[in-house]
Amino acid sequence: MIEPVHEVGTLLNAVEKVRRSATHLTTNWFAAPAQAGAWIGRQVLSYAWAQDTLLIFRRDRDFIRLYHVSPDPGQLAAALVGLDRLMPCTVLVSDLVGMPPQVDAIAAIHVGNGFRLYRSLMRMVGGAGEAGADPTVEFAGPADAGAVAGFLDALLDRFVDQPPDLDEVREAAEMRRILMVPHNGLPAAVLWFETTGVSSLLRYWYVGGEFRSQGLGARLIRTYFDLCRDLRRIQLWVIEDNCAAIAIYRYYGFRSEGLVDRIVVRDGRQA
Amino acid sequence: MKTVLEILSGIRLEFDFTASDSFIRDGMLDSYDVMTLVAELEQSYGVTIAGVDIVPENFCNLAAIQNLLSKSAAKP
């Protein structure tokens, strides 16, 4: 039975219960308590038990993000089989993050139980490269939020990129986390970053189709690097077979760190 | 046996973990790193860290991690 999560403590206790019985724990639930609390506040989290495996569901637009905490891979496989009865018509998406040998085994269990490998991402890390604030680059303000949200929504993959909603864009703009090159008041290129202490995540870096090959992306990244001068680490996720993007990131000094994210999708059955 | 500092440096080579009193706030560990750290601490020290103890405040600095290890070792 699927039940809504009302308190972070419910999840912590459930995870604890699995961990106590685990022989080869497998999980893709890495959310910090504060993040889980925010999702609970938005009423998008629910959970179910499949024998000793904890399944956590997060509603995201028109599909569900699936997390598991399972005592061993065999029990995870059994839980995934049971999902077909639990929610047969819903599209399910699972991010499986880890190092390739282990995470590929878990991805194979999903693929053997109704999921398909949708995309593979890899994490790249680096430090601030060629830095220099560009006068044509500006911070998006709250008034730009709608335009930025529309710009990103047209470019992002809902399963892979976790596109932000309008509130999230507005909040990021207020926190000065979005750089853009405007054209006639609208974003022609956008770079979204999230800095915590000495680390920064380069979340999105896009140039609009009609503005490509004009150096806008370079202006954005150099301005971003200028903001990152004192940081020790910049990280990003890139689709593993996007050779063009990877070549650009390498040019700017990023390197693969080994960590991958296998995104698997189970298409909902027709009702 | 690896020290806590050696384990942390293995996870994030680029940081000096002796120079921070709040690894999470300073962006030195993210939630995935914390889970990696838990697994490595359990393996190296032969303890089981309770799920309810896997919260940021127990991993915010070296002293907090040492306290967590002591607490986890004392549990049956």
**Cα separation values, B1 from A74, B15, B76, Å:** 31, 21, 22
Q: What are A38-96's pLDDT values in tens digits?
A: 999 999 999 999 999 999 999 998 999 999 999 999 999 999 998 888 888 899 999 99
Domain co-membership, A115 together with A144: no
What is the C-alpha to C-alpha distance for residues A229 and A158, in angstroms, rounded to an integer? 32
Domain co-membership, A188 together with A93: no
Residue A74 lies in a domain: yes
**Cα separation values, A66 from A23, A69, A271, B11, B67, Å:** 22, 10, 20, 26, 33
**What pTM, to 2 d.p., does this model score?**
0.90
pLDDT number for residue A19: 86
Q: What are A111-136's pLDDT values in tens digits?
A: 999 999 999 999 999 977 788 999 99
**Cα separation values, A218 from A7, A73, A98, A242, A254, Å:** 44, 44, 31, 18, 15
User: Where are the extended beta strands (E) located within A184-231?
Assistant: 186-196, 199-207
Q: Count Cα neighbours of A257 within 13 Å in the Cβ-side half-sphere.
A: 24
Q: What are B2-53's pLDDT values in tens digits?
A: 899 999 999 998 899 999 999 999 999 988 899 889 989 999 999 988 877 8
Residue A251 lies in a domain: no
Cross-chain residue pair A30–B32, CB shorter than 8 Å: yes
Can you give the CATH number for the domain in which B27 is found? 1.10.1200
Domain co-membership, A16 together with A113: yes
Which comes out higher in pLDDT, residue A21 or A260?
A: A260
Size of interface A-B (CB pairs under 8 A): 58
Residue A86 lies in a domain: yes
Prediction ipTM score: 0.82
Cross-chain residue pair A15–B56, CB shorter than 8 Å: no
Q: Are the beta carbons of B62 and B4 closer than 8 angstroms?
A: yes
pLDDT number for residue A270: 63
The sign of the dihedral angle between the CA atoms of A81, A85, A88, A93 is negative
Enumerate the residues of chain B whose CB falls inside 8 A of the CB of residue A196.
Answer: 25-27
CA distance B55 to chain A (A): 7
Assess whether pLDDT exceeds 80 at residue B75: no
Enumerate the residues of chain A whose CB falls inside 8 A of the CB of residue B34.
Answer: 30, 32
Q: Are the beta carbons of A45 and A6 closer than 8 angstroms?
A: no
Q: Which residue of A has its CA nearest to B51?
A: A16
Domain co-membership, A141 together with A171: yes
Q: Count Cα neighbours of A188 within 13 Å in the Cβ-side half-sphere.
A: 19
Beta bridge partners of A265: A93, A116
| Domain extent at residue A51 | 3-121+262-266
A213 contacts: CB under 8 Å, gap ≥ 6:
none
Does residue A178 come out as left (phi exceeding 0), alpha (psi in the -120 to 50 range) or beta? beta
Can you give the CATH number for the domain in which A206 is found? 3.40.630.30
Residue A91 lies in a domain: yes
Is some CB atom of chain A closer than 8 A to the CB atom of B28? yes
Residues across chain A: 271
